[in-house]
Amino acid sequence: MIVKSQGIWLTLAQDSEGPRCGAAMNDLSEAKGQALAIQGDRIIDIRAAEEIFSLYESDQILDWGNCLVMPGLIDPHTHPVFLATREDEFEMRNLGKSYVEIALAGGGIRSSVRSLRSATEDQLTDLVKERADGFLALGTTTIEAKSGYGLSTADEIKSLRAIHKANAEHALDFHPTFLGAHEIPDEYRDNREAYIQLLIDEMIPAVAKENLARFCDVFCEEHVFTVEESRRILAAAKNHGLQIRIHADEIESTGGAELAAEIGALSADHLGAISEQGIKDMRDAGVVATLLPGTSFFLNLAKRAPGRKIIDSGVAMALATDYNPGSCHTQSLFMIMTIACIHYGITAAEALTAVTVNAAHTLGLAHDRGQLKVGMRSDLIGIDAPNARFLPYQFGSNPVRHVVKDGRVVS
Ligand code: NIG
Ligand code: FE
């Protein structure tokens, strides 16, 4: 297959070890009038269109006109396995209740748990596949996908199996995370220690034994799991070969970022209330900050992650949707880039680096995707935009016109 476009090509291909931080987040490599040759699921060449056409023959030539071409987007933090939506809570918040108040009254994550438990694995698989269509149509070709609305061994396994089935049956790539430590379920509210013990003694070993997740995550937050509890859960996960990501310091600063550094997490996420020490520790340990500006926007939180400061301190930043039924109900990384630019004071180039190269790093996939480069996976998108700065500047509509995933036209 050959793809050509007269428009801008964002290859994001300067070589660098590790995730991009500081000034390197602003380095975009742009070219014009390129074409790209694909064999199977790999990019085999990329150069001026006329050269590609003199070197390769193909019976499948895609002419993307004046579209801007870039690597498929990577969303490194999503919660796509849920049954019921929670638009009632959105309205309650808009009329004055807070996210934490709703959660402590039994709504929030616990209401999603009650509904997910009534769903079958097949029902969840179908829902996840429908949601996967949504991601692909918005230019996202790889997602990290968490469980976390089951909170019993059987319901967490059911959720992770639904992710695996969707992954096998759908073009979108899923990288599963076990998030049994998302909340204390109703039946353990009076005995949280027993739930933590269940996570450590039964759930994590069961997930690892069936190879159901690559990562383990914990919601480390004042009203959910303490730093000490999170440390125990994540240590057990590490012992079972899972890699670590953490929901850290979203609403209150409790030392989640520091814990991410201490434990060698791939990523610490949210960070709305991160401390000075947390920023330093993450930089020194090389933990990527995955910021979720859609969530602080959707919850209308006054406290937002200090995105500009995080980049200027030398911490690599990624961006994600946090797609979930409660705190952020969007699948659009374009919308997320717009909010990030406005609320963090960052450039289009920084936002683009955050949803490609750096997002790939948090998933241990940077050798394979996140750039248009020979040898990388043939995941690419064509966007109706004249230049890179236009991408976060447009918002509220879908600018994606073409999607190729693993060398196949999917959207
Ligand atoms: O990342 N913070 C924890 N989990 C989700 C919220 C999930 C929910 O409200 O259902 C988040 O914001
Ligand atoms: Fe989340």
DSSP codes, 95-158:
TT--HHHHHHTT-THHHHHHHHTTS-HHHHHHHHHHHHHHHHHTTEEEEEEE--S--SHHHHHH
State the Cα–Cα distance between residues 208 and 19, nearest whole angstrom: 27
Atom of ligand 1 nearest to the CA of 179: 4
Give phi and psi for 326, each to the nearest 5: -105, -70
Residue-wise pLDDT for 280-338, tens only, equals 999 999 999 999 999 999 999 999 999 999 999 999 999 999 999 999 999 999 999 99
Whole-number Cα distances in Å, 393 to 67, 292, 318, 340, 390: 16, 18, 19, 11, 5
pTM: 0.98
State the Cα–Cα distance between residues 316 and 25, nearest whole angstrom: 8
Q: What domains can you pick out in the chain, each with its CATH number? A: 2-71+372-409 (2.30.40.10), 73-362 (3.20.20.140)
Ligand 1 binding pocket, CB closer than 6 Å = 79, 108-109, 112, 219, 247, 250, 295, 322, 324-327
Q: Whose CA is nearest to atom 6 of ligand 1?
A: 327
- Which tokens belong to 369? 């995707």
Rounded mean pLDDT, 275-284:
98
Report the pLDDT value the prediction gives residue 167, as an integer from 0 to 100: 98
Handedness of CA 112, 257, 299, 323 (dihedral sign): negative
What's the mean pLDDT when you consider all of the chain? 97
What is the percentage of the chain residues whose pLDDT exceeds 90? 97
3-state helix, strand, coil in the chain (%, to 5): 40, 20, 40
Report the pLDDT value the prediction gives residue 17, as an integer from 0 to 100: 80
Atom of ligand 1 nearest to the CA of 103: 9
The rounded Å distance from CA 79 to ligand 2 centre is 6
Report the pLDDT value the prediction gives residue 411, as an integer from 0 to 100: 83
Radius of gyration of the chain from its Cα atoms, rounded to whole angstroms: 21
State the Cα–Cα distance between residues 257 and 254, nearest whole angstrom: 8
Rounded mean pLDDT, 367-380:
97
Report the residue among 85, 143, 182 best suited for mutation to probe ligand 1: largest number of ligand atoms under 8 A from its CB. 182
Q: Relative to the alpha carbon of 248, which ligand is closest? A: 1
**Maximum alpha-carbon separation in the chain:** 71
State the Cα–Cα distance between residues 182 and 211, nearest whole angstrom: 20
State the Cα–Cα distance between residues 354 and 407, nearest whole angstrom: 24
Report the residue among 83, 109, 321 best suited for mutation to probe ligand 1: largest number of ligand atoms under 8 A from its CB. 109
Q: Relative to the alpha carbon of 329, which ligand is closest? A: 1
pLDDT band at 12 (very low <50, low <70, confident <90, very high): confident
Q: Relative to the alpha carbon of 149, which ligand is closest? A: 1
- Flag the least confident range among 5-19, 175-189, 205-219, 338-352: 5-19
Q: Which helix (H) or strand (E) holds 206?
A: helix 204-209
The rounded Å distance from CA 38 to ligand 2 centre is 35
State the Cα–Cα distance between residues 180 and 67, nearest whole angstrom: 42
Residue-wise pLDDT for 258-273, tens only, equals 999 999 999 999 999 9
pLDDT at residue 15 greater than cutoff 80: no
pLDDT at residue 13 greater than cutoff 80: no
Report the pLDDT value the prediction gives residue 16, as an integer from 0 to 100: 72
